[in-house]
Structure 1
Amino acid sequence: QWVYVANSDSVVRFPYRDGDLEASGEPETIVAKVPASHHWTRDIAFAPDGKTLYLSVGSGSNIAEDMGAKPKGGVEAWAKSQPLGEAWGPEEGRADVLAFDPDGSNRRTVATGLRNCSGMTVQPATGALWCVVNERDELGDNVPFEYATAVKDGAFYGWPWYYIGDNEDPRHKGARPDLAGKVTLPDVLIQAHSAPLNIAFYSGGNFPADGFPAEYRGDAFVTLHGSWNRNVRTGYKVVRLRFQDGKPTGEYDDFATGFVISDDAVWGRPVGVAVAKDGALILTEDGNGTIWRVTYGG
């Protein structure tokens, strides 16, 4: 009935019928006034039953530099009235995954402390919501890890005070001791500053010839865009996250590489990934603006 689109500052939907090749009506804004500065990319996903719309809203800064030391009324009062780990000031409602009814009503917070969940999807095997997250900058080439994770309802993932568990960001040292021990660990760690942007699970029935072998079923593909914040280049590729019986093993393999020309030049930066109905993998990249269709040639 609808095609939903996440803009940087809103969520809209267009009337849709199977086979439509262009919009049959004007967009209807269902979520307005989404903050759009700094991390402006947005992603949306629906729960398997279609009754919940998820929206990711990245932080408005690297490490909440403009948030202020304390919210009005003090940290203790703020913590009692807000979801676990919710930031304040210009960061309120950011670095979060939000949920709505399909018409945009009944806003609620699913999880906090996800600095920039740039890509979301629902795992077909379990119905779990998954995010790929860009972590903070300027702590060195190898700190902290980026990650992919199932998003747990009510969980806090650390930003801006902690990262990857109880590792305290030195730039916020001693600011939130009340949150120590309450940070949810992500499921799959990815090399620091790889800049994961999108995730898609490979699943389905009996794909025709273009489909990948059975061992790919249930695994996930993640696009790594690459980051400015690293002296030694990484990312600029697509990786395959390994799963077993619906659970991540914590391992990933290179899947599509070759976008790097030299230490100071690349010709492609992977962004989007999706699985076509015939089992082919669709990849987009914004280094030169190409859409790729990847089929299995075995």
Structure 2
Amino acid sequence: MAAPSSFARFIEFISKGIVAVRHSGDAPRAPVYGTAPAIPVAKPQGMIPTLKMPTAKGWEGDHKPTAAAGLKVNAFARGLDHPRNMHVMPNGDVLVAESMGERGNPQSLFDHAMSATMQRARASGDSANRVTLLRDADRDGVAEESHAYIENVRQPFGIALVGDTLYVGASDALLAYPYEPGATKITTPGKKLMDLIPGGHWTRNLIVSKDGAKLYVAVGSLSNIGDAGMAAEENRACIFEYDIASGRSRIFAGGLRNPVGMAWEPEGGMLWTVVNERDGLGDETPPDYLTSVRDGGFYGWPFCYWDRVVDDRVPQDAAKVASALQPDYALGGHTASLGLCWLPEGTLPGFPAGMAIGQHGSWNRSKLSGYKLAFVAFENGKPVGMPREILTDFLSPDEKHSYGRPVGVALAADGAVLMADDVGDVIWRVTGA
């Protein structure tokens, strides 16, 4: 038998986590946070970002995340299949979207390395394509019932209820299902309301307007920085507004590379989102961010980032750069902030009103970031101060293993904070100690 090629050995080492692809311009840096971040100048670079990701390990025995002082955490549900996002129903049932990225068709050396790394980290593979219903009938903080509620949906993520209609954001469509309170399964096929483009950043989150008349649908970009041209990015990197009565849709805001979590801030009445920024410019350049979303707003992708800093890897559009809005709050580079939930004051002891953020964690920096349930306080409708931690220790100290990875965040009917963990296959529940 012929000896393995250097290419094959390299891919094998990547798949086992023995080596990482690191760009020479990367070096550990202090996280970039807040309303006025000092963002490092982009590193000298080509198109290849650092590639480093821990191997998915999961939780064993009684091992669990560490809760902040004054808080405690328990498993609301275990044994799920890559839980990503949640929606709490009026009767207290919790719907969980179980899905993951589909295996791609690698072309380049880096594609092969990235594909192997993502599979090792359980970030891609065979998707469950299911919405599961969890029920805690005795209200003891642990779900004793689990039901396959909706099946055979391509990568479900967003879930929203309006009246007697349940909406699901699949990677390829906005779907509507008849909702019956108390039922444990929907067998009626989903009605397609809106075609969406699968692939790339595939999560399609949903949130309902305060008056229940509209849905907002988050759609990420196909690529990092419009690598296949901007025609391939049409109707992507944006948040759509879908009018339920008329069935018409429009782009509400654009230039958002990968908006995922969405939440309403009650004082200002604004829609907020967390956005995953571009790769290949350094550990902290640019930071992911939390921002209010203005109707008609453009947030820079792919032409520029933060305060109109031009990305010279991209063919430029001066008018687009001039119109770009600056995000409100930096969350650190490559934290992969995915989940977002408004927490009213008093939800968690010692925490004011603000946003809870599920930070899935980086795969593309020399020192890993994220891997926590974070919190950003708000005053007068705006974020203030530095982030705080609600749950930590999802990552081993040597950064070789991830026990879990935070994703969606929701408020349970009893006021507890729920967080989906797609590597641990757990829904964690956080309350006062």
Higher Rg: 2
- Tell me, yes or no, if the aligned pair for 1:193 and 1:227 is still in contact at 8 Å: yes
- TM-score normalised by the chain length of structure 2: 0.60
The residue number in structure 2 matching 1:54 is 216
Unaligned runs of at least 5 residues, structure 2:
1-163
The residue number in structure 2 matching 1:35 is 197
The residue number in structure 2 matching 1:161 is 303
User: Residue 52 and residue 225 in structure 1: after superposition, are their counterparts in 2 closer, same or farther (change >3 A)?
Assistant: same
1:251 matched to 2:390? The reply is no
- Tell me, yes or no, if the aligned pair for 1:193 and 1:230 is still in contact at 8 Å: yes
**5-14 or 115-124: which moved more?**
115-124
The residue number in structure 2 matching 1:96 is 238
The residue number in structure 2 matching 1:225 is 360
- Tell me, yes or no, if the aligned pair for 1:31 and 1:104 is still in contact at 8 Å: no
- Tell me, yes or no, if the aligned pair for 1:157 and 1:183 is still in contact at 8 Å: yes
The residue number in structure 2 matching 1:84 is none
Q: Aligned partners of 1:278 and 1:217: how far apart in 2?
A: 18
The residue number in structure 1 matching 2:158 is none
Higher relative contact order (CA 8 A, sep 6+): 2
Deviations 1:114-151 (A, max 9, x none): 00002112223333111110000011111001001110
In the alignment of these two chains, the number of paired residues is 269
The residue number in structure 1 matching 2:149 is none
Alpha-carbon offset, residue 284 of structure 1: 0.9
- Tell me, yes or no, if the aligned pair for 2:338 and 2:359 is still in contact at 8 Å: yes
Alpha-carbon offset, residue 99 of structure 1: 0.6
Pairing of 1:234-249 with structure 2 (within 5 A): 234-249=369-384
Deviations 1:167-202 (A, max 9, x none): 0002026x2122333211111101101000110001
Q: Secondary structure at the match of 1:172?
A: coil
- Tell me, yes or no, if the aligned pair for 1:11 and 1:29 is still in contact at 8 Å: yes
Q: Secondary structure at the match of 2:261?
A: strand
1:188 matched to 2:329? The reply is yes
Amino acid at match of 1:292: W
2:403 aligned to which of 267, 270, 283: 267
Q: Aligned partners of 1:250 and 1:3: how far apart in 2?
A: 37
Q: Aligned partners of 1:131 and 1:104: how far apart in 2?
A: 25
> After TM superposition, where is structure 1 displaced by more than 6 Å over at least 4 residues in a row?
none
The residue number in structure 2 matching 1:80 is none
Amino acid at match of 1:60: L
Q: Secondary structure at the match of 1:180?
A: helix
Q: Aligned partners of 2:180 and 2:193: how far apart in 1?
A: 19
Q: Aligned partners of 2:386 and 2:323: how far apart in 1?
A: 25
User: Residue 202 and residue 243 in structure 1: after superposition, are their counterparts in 2 closer, same or farther (change >3 A)?
Assistant: same
Unaligned runs of at least 5 residues, structure 1:
68-87
Q: Aligned partners of 1:179 and 1:283: how far apart in 2?
A: 37
1:280 matched to 2:422? The reply is no
Q: Aligned partners of 2:250 and 2:422: how far apart in 1?
A: 33
The residue number in structure 2 matching 1:170 is 312
The residue number in structure 2 matching 1:198 is 339
Alpha-carbon offset, residue 25 of structure 1: 3.0
